[in-house]
Amino acid sequence: MSDWRFCVAPMMDWTDRHCRYFLRLITRRARLYTEMVTAPALRHGDVARHLDFDPAEHPLALQLGGSDPAELAHAAKLGERWGYDEINLNCGCPSERVQTGSFGACLLAEPALVADCVKAMRDAVSLPVTVKHRIGLDASEDYGFVRDFVGTVGAAGCNVFVVHARNAVLKGLSPKENREVPPLRYEVVHRLKRDFPALAFVLNGGLGDWDAIERELGRLDGVMLGRAAYHDPYLLASVDWKVYGDERAALSRAEVLRALVPYAQAQRARGTPLRAIARHVLGLYHGRSGGRRFRQILSDSRRLANAGPELFYEAMAAVEPAALTA
């Protein structure tokens, strides 16, 4: 079974270490990804701040941004030293800030350079080196463009491609609009799998319900959920048994909160504000009666400024008071 059968996407400003720890309480098996970390930041910045994580987060991939093979090889070595399970190269982010650094989605137009980057990282580490990318640039829907990209990068030793099944529009659309406006074209990813059967393809983009997830798992090697998993994190409670056949019971929502409290206490002792953890928990009771009140309590800036992790219990009581004595 593919190690990439079910993944949670790298999301800037969202999938930090606190988010990942929280998600890991819900699913033991899903593969988690860091926010994108740029290779220059690891050469010139605070490495520990960028790379530290809790061992409970495994399996965990480090997503890197960059376009210099030597810098990326250095960053990959650091990732391996820190204990990550995978190095993933971002060739999909369409933001102008990323384009200024000559990486992200604009790298789709430079498959030979991406191949050099992949080879440099593969030579530097023993971890899997994977690539996350879009299916095209701007208005072009030429299948040959993405086919040749995958063929070139695959020949450099990349065996796993995480494919966001939309084009990236480099000018005129915001990153948010780039996640919504370009149409989803799953058939392109299906065709890539037919053309490159020895490679693994993980589908990203627009997945949010189990019917769609299971349909695509029948066609491809894996799926990756992004904002659906963030806004409704308890969706992940079904992953271990539906995808991996793990029959151990998932934690209930209340059990997840109870398990999060010791982590929050330890982080608070290190100077982490409660807000940094609580902001990732707001969707835990998505769609449930009392969920709105739960979100209000955990996003109240006045309470967050002074409260400790007991605020999680107060929020829980607003939704399911019986859980406090269970």
**pLDDT, tens digit, for every residue of 24-63?**
999 999 999 999 999 999 998 899 999 999 999 999 999 9
- Per-residue pLDDT, averaged over 6-34, amounts to 98
CA within 13 Å, CB half, 130? 23
Task: Name the residue type at position 159.
Answer: N
Third-level CATH fold of 253-324: Four Helix Bundle (Hemerythrin (Met), subunit A) (1.20.120)
pLDDT in tens, 268-298: 999 999 999 999 999 999 999 999 999 999 9
Tabulate helix, strand, coil % of the chain (nearest 5). Answer: 50, 15, 35
Verify whether residue 93 is a known catalytic residue. Answer: yes
Tokens read off for 192: 């890539």
d(C-alpha 130, C-alpha 258), whole Å: 35
Residue 323 has pLDDT above 80, yes or no: yes
Name residue 317's amino acid. Answer: A
Cα dihedral value 148, 151, 157, 161, nearest 10 = 80
Across the chain, mean pLDDT equals 95
Domain ranges of the chain: 6-242, 253-324
* DSSP output for 105-122: GGGGG-HHHHHHHHHHHH
Beta-carbon contacts of residue 61 (< 8 Å; ≥ 6 apart): 7, 10, 31, 32, 33, 34, 84, 85, 86, 87, 88, 130
Q: Is pLDDT above 60 for 1?
A: no
Which comes out higher in pLDDT, residue 110 or 98? Answer: 110
Confidence of residue 98 (pLDDT cuts 50, 70, 90): low
**Residue 304 backbone zone (phi > 0: left; psi -120 to 50: alpha; other: beta):** alpha
pLDDT above 80 (res 17): yes
**Tell me, what's the pLDDT at 218?**
97
What confidence category does residue 145 fall into, taking pLDDT thresholds of 50, 70 and 90?
very high
* Measured distance CA(124)–CA(118) in Å, rounded: 10
**DSSP label of 2:** -
* pLDDT at residue 101 tops 90: no
Query: Quick one: what percent of the chain has pLDDT higher than 90?
Result: 90
Q: What is the dihedral of CA 119, 4, 33, 177, to 10 degrees?
A: 90
Residues comprising the chain, all counted: 326
- Quick check: 82 pLDDT over 90? yes
Residue type, 275: R
pLDDT level of residue 167 (50, 70, 90 thresholds): very high
Q: What is the pLDDT of residue 181?
A: 93
Q: Is the pLDDT of residue 132 over 60?
A: yes
Structurally, what CATH architecture does the domain formed by 6-242 represent? Answer: Alpha-Beta Barrel (3.20)
Torsion over CA: 306, 309, 310, 313 (sign):
positive
Of the candidates 269, 272, 274, 256, the one whose C-alpha atom is nearest the C-alpha of residue 310 is 274
> What is the number of other CB atoms lying within 10 angstroms of the CB of residue 226?
22
Query: Identity (one letter) of the amino acid at 316?
Result: M
Question: How does strand 60-65 pair with strand 129-137?
Answer: unpaired
- pLDDT number for residue 174: 87
| In the block, residue with structure tokens 């693994």 | 200
pLDDT digits (tens, 9 = 90+) for 192-233: 999 999 999 999 999 999 999 999 999 999 999 999 999 999
Active-site choice (93, 106, 117, 158): 93
- CA–CA distance, 163 with 131 (Å, rounded to integer): 8
203 Cβ contact list (under 8 Å, min separation 6): 163, 165, 186, 189, 216, 220, 222, 223, 224
> Please, what sign has the CA dihedral across residues 246, 251, 256, 262?
negative
Q: Model pTM?
A: 0.96
pLDDT at 173: 87
